[in-house]
């Protein structure tokens, strides 16, 4: 089962402020006219104002739209409340993102449809009457995701592999979860433009062209995935943060504070989950559509934002920006659980960092911080980390 909250950030804001209910409204990380809406209400979507629409374009569609600045901790708290409800039905819960969770109900003795209906009711009663969700039920994650998208908002759908050909009617490959833009381009070279065409394409030919990834893609679109729920106890693949800038520049000196703050926020999350990293990445998207991305494998372990920042700065030294930067992402990869063994040569920050974490956990994010992070909130305010 996939439980997908509808217009989550906007609905939480409407739940918190009754004056916003029933009104076209959006949520943005910055109220600058060129900033994009990270969420829009059901009423705004009905007018054609979608997520990622810039504020000034949204106002052209509907001048009366209300835009509020996001409050990430508010959304995290509601997400925690909702996931607590899920734990009453199964211990196999995968929070896929802040507003989506997969539930494994294979061992449940209750009809999954009844579970879905009860979850929808409890979310309204316990988390907020203005909060709705779309529930999708299927034999694996891919089909459950398709089912949840089938009826929005506030729907509940059951889908089986035998129904896929019918559901795929009128859909493009890019409409399917997990099929990236890169895959659509490669498949187009083979004359494959629709899910039905991919279903019918000879598997041997796909494997000859793409190897195992070709098989996995064919398996997915035919509804044959055998996946598992990755619970919070499972090792995450990465910890990172990204931000769409509320200013535009090609000057790396002005962009450095953004990288520093994003790195520190990612490090806080990683330490909270008990991991260290031996790999880093940084990516930049430019206003002209171009961009850069690079990974680095390290021969040592790191767990602080400053260490990630230093590595990221060395990675982008040779990059020459052809246009202003509009988006930056930075993070940790190659994770392993942190061992609590005492080092023979401890660094000063080994003792200081846990103390800073405890203070910030109690009194608020970045309440106490290294001097190098002073005023970096001007460049990269608190934001939600989507996905894993």
Which amino acids are annotated catalytic? 100
Buried b (16+ CB within 10 A) or exposed e, 203-224: eeebbeebeeebebbbebbbbe
- Residue 81: how many CB atoms within 10 A of its CB? 14
> Which residue, chain included where needed, has tokens 């409890």?
122
Closest to 29 in 3D by CA, of 251, 323, 258, 273: 258
- Residue 118: how many CB atoms within 10 A of its CB? 14
Confirm if 83 and 93 have CB atoms less than 8 A apart: yes
Both tokens of residue 229? 């729920």
How big is the CA angle at 350 (ends 347 and 351), to the nearest 5 degrees? 110
How big is the CA angle at 123 (ends 122 and 126), to the nearest 5 degrees? 75
Both tokens of residue 336? 């392993």
Backbone phi and psi for residue 133, each to the nearest 5 degrees, phi listed first: -145, 160
Both tokens of residue 132? 């709705």
Closest to 156 in 3D by CA, of 140, 138, 135: 135
């Amino acid at each position: 089962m996939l439980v997908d909250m509808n217009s989550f950030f906007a609905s939480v804001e409407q739940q918190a402020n009754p004056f916003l209910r029933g009104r076209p409204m959006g949520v943005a990380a910055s109220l600058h006219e060129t900033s994009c809406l990270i969420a829009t209400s059901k009423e705004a979507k009905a007018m054609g104002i979608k997520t990622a629409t810039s504020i000034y374009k949204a106002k052209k569609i509907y001048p009366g739209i209300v835009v509020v600045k996001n409050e990430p901790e508010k959304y995290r708290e509601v997400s925690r409340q909702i996931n607590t409800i899920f734990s009453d039905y199964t211990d196999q819960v995968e929070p896929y993102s802040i507003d989506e969770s997969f539930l494994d109900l294979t061992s449940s003795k209750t009809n999954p449809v009844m579970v879905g209906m009860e979850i929808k009711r409890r979310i309204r009663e316990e988390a907020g009457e203005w909060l709705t969700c779309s529930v999708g039920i299927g034999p694996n994650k891919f089909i459950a995701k398709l089912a949840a998208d089938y009826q929005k908002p506030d729907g509940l759908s059951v889908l089986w592999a035998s129904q896929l050909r019918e559901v795929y009617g009128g859909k493009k490959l890019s409409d399917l979860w997990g099929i990236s833009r890169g895959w659509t381009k490669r498949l187009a070279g083979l004359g494959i433009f629709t899910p039905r065409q991919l279903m019918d394409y000879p598997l041997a030919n796909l494997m000859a062209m793409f190897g195992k990834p070709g098989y996995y893609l064919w398996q997915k679109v035919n509804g044959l995935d055998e996946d598992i729920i990755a619970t919070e106890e499972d090792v995450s693949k990465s910890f990172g943060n990204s931000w769409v800038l509320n200013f535009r520049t090609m000057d790396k000196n002005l962009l450095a504070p953004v990288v520093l703050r994003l790195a520190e926020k990612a490090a806080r999350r990683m330490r909270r989950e008990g991991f260290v990293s031996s790999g880093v990445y940084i990516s930049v998207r430019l206003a002209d559509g171009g961009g850069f991305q690079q990974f680095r494998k390290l021969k040592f372990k790191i767990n602080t934002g400053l260490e990630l920042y230093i590595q990221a700065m060395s990675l982008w030294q040779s990059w020459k920006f052809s246009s202003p930067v509009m988006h930056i992402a930075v993070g940790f990869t190659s994770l392993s659980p942190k061992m609590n063994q005492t080092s023979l040569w401890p660094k000063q920050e080994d003792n200081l960092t846990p103390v800073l974490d405890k203070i910030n956990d109690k009194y608020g994010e970045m309440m106490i911080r290294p001097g190098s992070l002073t005023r970096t909130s001007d460049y990269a305010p608190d934001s939600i980390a989507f996905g894993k």
